[in-house]
Amino acid sequence: MASYEDILENLSEGLIAVDMGGRVSIFNQSAEKMAGVSRSLVIGRELKDAFKRDERLVDMLTKTLKEGRLFAEYEEKLHRRLGGTTPVGITTSQVFDPDGNLTGAVALIKDLSGIKSLEAGSLHKERLAYIGTFAANLAHEIKNPLSGIRGAAQLLAKKVKDESLSDYMNVIMKEADRLNLILNDMLDFARPARLEKKPLNIHKVLDSVVLLLKDGLTPEALVKAYDPSIPDVDGDEGQLTQVFLNLVKNAKEALDKNGEIRISTRIITEFHLIGDGSATGKMVSIEVRDNGCGIKEEDLEQIFTPFFTTKPKGSGLGMAITLKIVKEHNGLLKIDSTPGEGTVVTVYLPIAERQETTCRV
Ligand SMILES: Nc1ncnc2c1ncn2[C@@H]1O[C@H](COP(=O)(O)OP(=O)(O)O)[C@@H](O)[C@H]1O
Ligand SMILES: [Mg+2]
């Protein structure tokens, strides 16, 4: 039969027990995980010293021990030793020996992070759907008057003889064009999926993107490392062009003088994704790597949020649109970035069942 120790040790809840002096006497494996600290650093120490930042936990256990107050599923955050917090539910009780003497107190700690992120996830989705419709309507409404303004400025520019005034007209037209680009991005983002998928040579897509964006880059700054043997992917040419336009454009904007963008492709024959069976089997991977400024850790989780931008003239829609299109292709997007070193974005796309380029006569 399992011993009490083994059972406590293997509980999925964290368990912290203190003796009558308020010193930690038990600290199981799950508690170690949630607090991010080894028991060797806490056992035998006074709770209030070992958990300086978790005042509520200390307070609750002390009140349980001294006053007999009990707490049930009390929602709190536990500080992890190396930064960050774990949302937890804390339940406390007193501990008695067989003779009925009080010997200490115990806290049972339930990890709520899974539940919390589920809640946050569904809220996030609803909000995104709302922003999407809102943005599309707004974009529509603004586009027409804007083209009116631009047209009128253009007419005026032709009629006005005064040079200094026509400069102003040009400003109006240039800014109207920029606004129009942002509105197009907004409409792209909100557009319902209407993909025309066919077997597609992804190198052709990448080449057209490079052609559009190579201005301002030296030939050495743009390296193509294609695997010529990769099969066609199953994709919508226009949409995928948009994906790589966004990614290469971001890479270009992140570079300084001696920067380099490297676009590589390869085939992944054994693609497995833990926890989500939607993407298994053969995939093509397309990697866009730059050695530019990189992305700060706190920004990384935001970059797919519509309108999040760190650029003075950015729309903040590029990554949101990119992720949306990749998902519509049953693909995956992975991003790795180190501030000061650069960014690697990898897109995985399913290969086409029917291969256009192979000849079967
Ligand atoms: N390759 C990259 N290098 C550095 N930062 C990047 C890169 N790609 C994306 N980002 C960050 O993500 C943000 C959002 O990107 P995006 O959605 O394309 O909007 P925008 O380019 O208009 O700012 C950028 O403002 C930037 O901070
Ligand atoms: Mg961008």
pLDDT in tens, 225-258: 999 999 999 999 989 999 999 999 999 999 998 8
CA–CA distance, 268 with 51 (Å, rounded to integer) = 47
Within-domain flag for 73: yes
Based on the fold, state whether residues 213 and 324 are members of the same structural domain: yes
Within-domain flag for 314: yes
The pLDDT score that the predictor gives to residue 102 is: 93
What is the mean predicted confidence (pLDDT) over 90-107?
A: 93
Which ligand lies nearest the alpha carbon of 307? 1
Residues in the ligand 1 pocket, defined by CB under 6 Å: 246, 250-251, 254, 290, 292-295, 299, 303, 308-311, 314-320, 343
Based on the fold, state whether residues 59 and 167 are members of the same structural domain: no
- The answer, yes or no, to whether residue 354 has pLDDT greater than 90, is no
CA–CA distance, 65 with 70 (Å, rounded to integer) = 9
Based on the fold, state whether residues 137 and 218 are members of the same structural domain: no
- Centre of ligand 1 to C-alpha 253, Å, is 8
Which ligand lies nearest the alpha carbon of 292? 1
Based on the fold, state whether residues 232 and 342 are members of the same structural domain: yes
- Centre of ligand 1 to C-alpha 321, Å, is 12
Token pair 């590029």 in the structure block, residue: 318
Q: Is 276 strand, coil or helix?
A: coil
Residue of the CA atom closest to atom 1 of ligand 1: 251
Q: How crowded is residue 348: how many other Cβ atoms within 10 Å of its Cβ?
A: 21
Within-domain flag for 66: yes
What is the mean predicted confidence (pLDDT) over 287-313?
A: 92
Which ligand lies nearest the alpha carbon of 256? 1
| Ligand 1 probe mutation, 249, 296, 309, most atoms within 8 A of CB | 309
Based on the fold, state whether residues 233 and 312 are members of the same structural domain: yes
Based on the fold, state whether residues 41 and 132 are members of the same structural domain: no
Q: Is 162 strand, coil or helix?
A: coil
**Of 88, 111, 134, which one is at a domain's C-terminal end?**
111
The pLDDT score that the predictor gives to residue 360 is: 44
The pLDDT score that the predictor gives to residue 356 is: 61
- Centre of ligand 1 to C-alpha 341, Å, is 15
Name the band, by pLDDT with cuts 50, 70 and 90, for residue 357: low
Atom of ligand 1 nearest to the CA of 288: 1
- Centre of ligand 2 to C-alpha 253, Å, is 8
Within-domain flag for 149: yes
What is the mean predicted confidence (pLDDT) over 302-316?
A: 88
Q: What is the CATH number of the domain that holds 333?
A: 3.30.565.10
**Percent of the residues in the chain that have a pLDDT greater than 70, as a whole number:** 89
Token pair 């649109």 in the structure block, residue: 321
The average confidence (pLDDT) of the chain is: 87
**Percent of the residues in the chain that have a pLDDT greater than 90, as a whole number:** 52
Within-domain flag for 357: no
Based on the fold, state whether residues 167 and 222 are members of the same structural domain: no
The pLDDT score that the predictor gives to residue 116 is: 64
Based on the fold, state whether residues 216 and 231 are members of the same structural domain: yes
**Of 165, 190, 215, which one is at a domain's C-terminal end?**
190
Residue of the CA atom closest to atom 5 of ligand 1: 295
- Centre of ligand 1 to C-alpha 234, Å, is 27
Based on the fold, state whether residues 215 and 241 are members of the same structural domain: yes
The pLDDT score that the predictor gives to residue 277 is: 44
Domains in the chain, number: 3
**Of 138, 156, 190, which one is at a domain's C-terminal end?**
190
Q: What is the CATH number of the domain that holds 58?
A: 3.30.450.20
Based on the fold, state whether residues 122 and 101 are members of the same structural domain: no
**Pairing of the two strands 233-235 and 198-200:** antiparallel
Based on the fold, state whether residues 216 and 253 are members of the same structural domain: yes
- The answer, yes or no, to whether residue 17 has pLDDT greater than 60, is yes
Within-domain flag for 61: yes
The pLDDT score that the predictor gives to residue 274 is: 42
Print the domain residue range for 183.
116-190
Based on the fold, state whether residues 185 and 202 are members of the same structural domain: no
- Centre of ligand 1 to C-alpha 303, Å, is 7
